[in-house]
Amino acid sequence: MAWNHHRHLELYYAVSGSGAVLHTFNPRLHADQMAYIANHANDQILFFDLSFLTQVQALAQRNQSIKTYVALTDRAHMPEAHSLPNLHCYEDLLDAETDGFQWPDLDETSASSLCYTSGTTGNPKGVLYSHRSTVLHCYAAALPDALLGSAKDTILPVVPMFHVNAWGLPYMACMVGAKLVLPGPWLDGKSLFELIESEGVTLSAGVPTVWQGLLGHAESHRLGFSTMTRTIIGGSACPLEMIRSFDEDYGVQVIQGWGMTETSPLGTTSAFKGKHLHLPKAQHHAVQAKQGRGVFGIEMKIVDREGAELPWNDQSVGDLMVRGSWVLRAYFKDEGGSPLVDGWFPTGDVARIDADGYMQITDRSKDVIKSGGEWIGSIDLENIAMSHPAVATAACIAARHPKWDERPLLIVVKKTGAEVTAQALLDFFEGKIAKWWTPDDVVFVSSIPLGATGKMLKGELRQQYANHLLGEVAANA
Q: pLDDT for 169-193, tens place per residue? A: 999 999 999 999 999 999 999 999 9
Question: Does the structure show a pLDDT above 70 at 210?
Answer: yes
Cis peptide before 208 (omega within 30 of 0): no
My answer on whether 351 and 434 are in the same domain is no
| Residue 125 counted as domain residue | no
CATH assignment of the domain containing 43: 3.40.50.980
Helices (H) and strands (E) in the chain, counts: 15, 22
The pLDDT confidence band at residue 471, using thresholds 50, 70 and 90, is confident
| Residue 412 counted as domain residue | yes
Res 373: pLDDT? 67
Q: List, as one string, the DSSP characters of 255-318.
A: EEEEE-GGGSSEEEE-PPPGGGTTS-HHHHHHHHTS-BEEPTTEEEEEE-TTSPBPP-SSS--E
Q: How far apart are the first and last CA of the chain?
A: 54
Res 79: pLDDT? 95
Res 239: pLDDT? 87
The percentage of the chain sitting over the pLDDT mark of 70, rounded to a whole number, equals 98
To the query of whether residue 275 is one of the catalytic residues in this protein, the response is no
Q: Which of 194, 227, 366, 375 is catalytic?
A: 375
How does strand 391-401 pair with strand 125-130? unpaired
Which among 219, 179, 164, 222 is positioned nearest to 22, based on CA atoms? 164
Q: CA angle, 49 as apex, 47 and 55 as ends, to 5°?
A: 90
Question: Does the structure show a pLDDT above 50 at 476?
Answer: no
User: Residue 385 CA to chain centroid, in angstroms?
Assistant: 21
| Residue 117 counted as domain residue | no
My answer on whether 202 and 346 are in the same domain is yes
How does strand 22-23 pair with strand 111-117? parallel
My answer on whether 169 and 308 are in the same domain is yes
Res 402: pLDDT? 86
How far is 43 from 21, CA to CA, in rounded Å?
9
My answer on whether 279 and 344 are in the same domain is yes
CATH assignment of the domain containing 269: 3.40.50.12780
Res 119: pLDDT? 64
* Whether the Cβ atoms of residue 358 and residue 275 lie closer than 8 Å to each other: no
| Residue 109 counted as domain residue | no
My answer on whether 404 and 432 are in the same domain is yes
My answer on whether 94 and 141 are in the same domain is no
The pLDDT confidence band at residue 455, using thresholds 50, 70 and 90, is confident
| Residue 302 counted as domain residue | yes
My answer on whether 67 and 186 are in the same domain is no
The pLDDT confidence band at residue 92, using thresholds 50, 70 and 90, is very high
Q: Which of 24, 117, 134, 438 is catalytic?
A: 117
Which residues are CB-neighbours of 325 under 8 A, at least 6 positions away? 132, 133, 136, 137, 297
The pLDDT confidence band at residue 426, using thresholds 50, 70 and 90, is very high
Res 472: pLDDT? 55
My answer on whether 210 and 300 are in the same domain is yes
To the query of whether residue 199 is one of the catalytic residues in this protein, the response is no
To the query of whether residue 375 is one of the catalytic residues in this protein, the response is yes
Domain of 225 in residue numbering reads as: 130-364
- Between 28-42, 109-123, 191-205, the lowest mean confidence (pLDDT) is in 109-123
My answer on whether 354 and 428 are in the same domain is no
My answer on whether 384 and 400 are in the same domain is yes
How far is 328 from 403, CA to CA, in rounded Å?
42
| Residue 116 counted as domain residue | no
Q: What is the DSSP code (8-state) at residue 77?
A: G
- Size of the chain, expressed as the number of residues it contains: 477
Question: Does the structure show a pLDDT above 90 at 452?
Answer: no
My answer on whether 224 and 341 are in the same domain is yes
CATH assignment of the domain containing 386: 3.30.300.30
| Residue 95 counted as domain residue | yes
Type of residue at 5: H
Q: Give the residue, 45 or 208, on which the prediction is more confident.
A: 45
How does strand 266-269 pair with strand 293-294? antiparallel
The pLDDT confidence band at residue 121, using thresholds 50, 70 and 90, is low
What's the order of all strands across the beta sheet hosting 125-130? 22-23, 111-117, 125-130
Res 120: pLDDT? 64
Q: What is the DSSP code (8-state) at residue 29?
A: S
Cis peptide before 27 (omega within 30 of 0): no
My answer on whether 443 and 430 are in the same domain is yes
Q: What is the DSSP code (8-state) at residue 440?
A: S
For the segment 337-395, what is each residue's pLDDT rounded down to a tens digit? 899 999 999 998 999 999 999 999 988 887 878 787 677 888 889 989 999 999 999 99
Question: Does the structure show a pLDDT above 50 at 332?
Answer: yes
Mean pLDDT, residues 65-79 taken together: 97
Res 366: pLDDT? 78
Q: Give the residue, 456 or 247, on which the prediction is more confident.
A: 247
SS3 (DSSP) at 448: coil
* Whether the Cβ atoms of residue 463 and residue 429 lie closer than 8 Å to each other: no
Q: Which of 186, 370, 421, 432 is catalytic?
A: 370
| Residue 123 counted as domain residue | no
Question: Does the structure show a pLDDT above 60 at 475?
Answer: no
To the query of whether residue 117 is one of the catalytic residues in this protein, the response is yes
The chain-wide mean pLDDT, for the chain, equals 93
Q: Which of 241, 262, 382, 406 is catalytic?
A: 262
Per the structure, the count of domains in the chain is 3
